Amino acid sequence: MNNRLYVDLHVLQTVPPSCVNRDDTGSPKTAIYGGMTRARVSSQAWKRAMRVMFREELLQDEQVGQRTKKVLALLKEEMAALDGAEHADKLAMKALENAGLKLKAEDRDALFFISKSQLHALAVLAIEGNSDKNAYKQALRAHPSMDMILFGRMAASDPTLNYDAAAQVAHSISTHAVQNEYDYFTAVDDCSPEDNAGAGHLGIVEYNSATLYRYATVAVPELVRYLGKNDAIIAVRAFVDAFIRSMPTGKQNTFANRTLPDAVYITVRTDQPVNLCRAFEKAVEPTADGFVAASEQKLCSYAKQVYHDFVDEPAAAFTVGSGLEELALSMPRKEMLDALCDTITEMLTEDEVE
């Protein structure tokens, strides 16, 4: 199988006044790029939103894992569901230790990413009284969930349980300079006397608005390696769909900032992933028409320049929305997802034939 098959996602998306992703002081995250302050949304924030969409809408329960501090409790529940095992607490603790998760009694809530199939396999081994540590380790290596392979897993106590992420998600940055603003707000006490003019609460919320450039890439062969071809295609479709439609929930109730992209550019590459953020190293200048049209033009121009100077044009390309038709034919989202999956399936089949 060709080990160089990548799906690159480029998204331009405008968010209104909002605080999608905040730092430790409550301020919207920013970054200096091209010497200018840009709005920023961390990759972690958007990946979390994608995983929630996987679980709630796009994938089946057995296809998604759980990143949790409650692995011990989940294992005990699974054991109880199987046969109401006695001494489940002690057996579950021993099972995790046999698997390479060296949890101390006072530190049982270590964060770990585990699939339902892996939980079930561990529970069966523990109930059977199996003492083969290799069997427990194999139970945690086999049958990973789709989101586990997409986003990776790290086990500090045993690196052999790690999965390298098949997907990479960049921090989203605004295509233009931003300056954070402040909303001074008051809340009225409904039970206060009518002659009381004072507020029950005063506060300040920091926010900004931006047209973001968002980028992600997926290494398809890594998905095939762990999931098989059919499930790899399902994972790619879910990843692309979630990247397009998900939104981090920071201050969502305050700003109702749930938007969809202005334009999406998807490429299938057989050489290497290509992040096109350099298109916006020089910040887009404000105009009466806003930032979207100028951002779309800069993305088109820079992509063509990169294809001329450094790498080949993609093996296949698709756009959704308007403004990027210079790069590929525009089509509705669902039609694009079908075409993308058909293209990847065909390319994987060709590799098998060769």
Q: Render the burial of 308-329: b for 16+ CB within 10 Å, e for the rest.
A: eeeeeebebbbbbbebbeebbe
Side chain identity, residue 53: M
Instruction: Give the span between the Cα atoms of 92 and 82, in whole angstroms.
Output: 13
* CA-to-CA dists, residue 247 to 62, 102, 163, 267, angstroms: 23, 36, 26, 22
Q: What is the pLDDT of residue 97?
A: 87
Q: What is the pLDDT of residue 93?
A: 87
DSSP H or E stretch at residue 128? helix 116-128
- Are 55 and 286 in contact by the 8 Å Cβ rule? The answer is no
The answer on pLDDT for 108 being more than 60 is no
Q: What is the pLDDT of residue 197?
A: 65
N- to C-terminal Cα distance for the chain?
Answer: 8
DSSP H or E stretch at residue 16? strand 6-18
pLDDT digits (tens, 9 = 90+) for 216-236: 999 999 999 999 999 999 999
Unique residue bearing structure tokens 């109702």: 256
What HEC string does 98-126 produce?
HCCCCCCHHHCCCCEEECHHHHHHHHHHH
Q: DSSP letter string over 185-204? A: EEE--TTS-TT--S-SEEEE
pLDDT digits (tens, 9 = 90+) for 266-302: 999 999 999 999 999 999 999 999 999 999 999 999 9
β-strand partners of 11: 214, 264
Average pLDDT over residues 159-179: 95
Kindly report which listed range (50-59, 99-108, 172-181) carries the lowest average pLDDT score: 99-108
